[in-house]
């Protein structure tokens, strides 16, 4: 696969995936996020009880989805960004803490022109941490 930096424009400190392990073009992808105590958001969320914010887990799923779309459409790489447009039915099942390895499974559940709808599940050691449906569009 391509490097993440070749697929999406996100950079530190707002890149929330470490690698993409699987891509089935136009269908699904599996991203990985190694959650470490060094994450800058743990400074304030929460100093004595570090928990990864749920919205950042959804962002990590969305970044995995953006990699899927970019990889599947080579003409978009380094030219267009994919923007999150909606989040639906987000459920946070367990707290994500330092030491968790999040597996971010995303699937395309619909598309039309430059608009895509996904289902995503973030899990760690077999436990579902977060599940959500979300939509994104390719910058025109």
* Active site amino acids: 45
DSSP string, 75-91: GGTTT--EEEEEEEEEE
Cα dihedral sign for 22, 63, 84, 54? positive
> How many helices and strands, by DSSP H and E, does the chain display?
2, 6
- Cα–Cα distance, 118 to 107 (Å, whole number): 5
CB 20 within 8 A of CB 10: no
């Amino acid at each position: 696969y391509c490097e993440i930096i070749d697929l999406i424009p996100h950079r530190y400190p707002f890149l929330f995936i470490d690698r993409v392990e699987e891509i089935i073009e136009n269908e699904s992808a599996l991203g990985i996020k190694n959650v470490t105590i060094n994450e800058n958001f743990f400074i304030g969320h929460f100093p004595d009880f570090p928990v990864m914010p749920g919205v950042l887990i959804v962002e990590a799923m969305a970044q995995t989805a953006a990699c899927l779309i970019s990889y599947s459409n080579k003409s978009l790489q380094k030219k267009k960004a994919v923007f999150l447009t909606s989040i639906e039915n987000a459920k946070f099942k367990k707290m994500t803490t330092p030491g968790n390895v999040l597996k971010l499974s995303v699937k395309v559940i619909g598309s039309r022109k430059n608009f895509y709808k996904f289902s995503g599940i973030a899990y760690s050691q077999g436990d579902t941490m977060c599940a959500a449906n979300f939509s994104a569009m390719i910058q025109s």
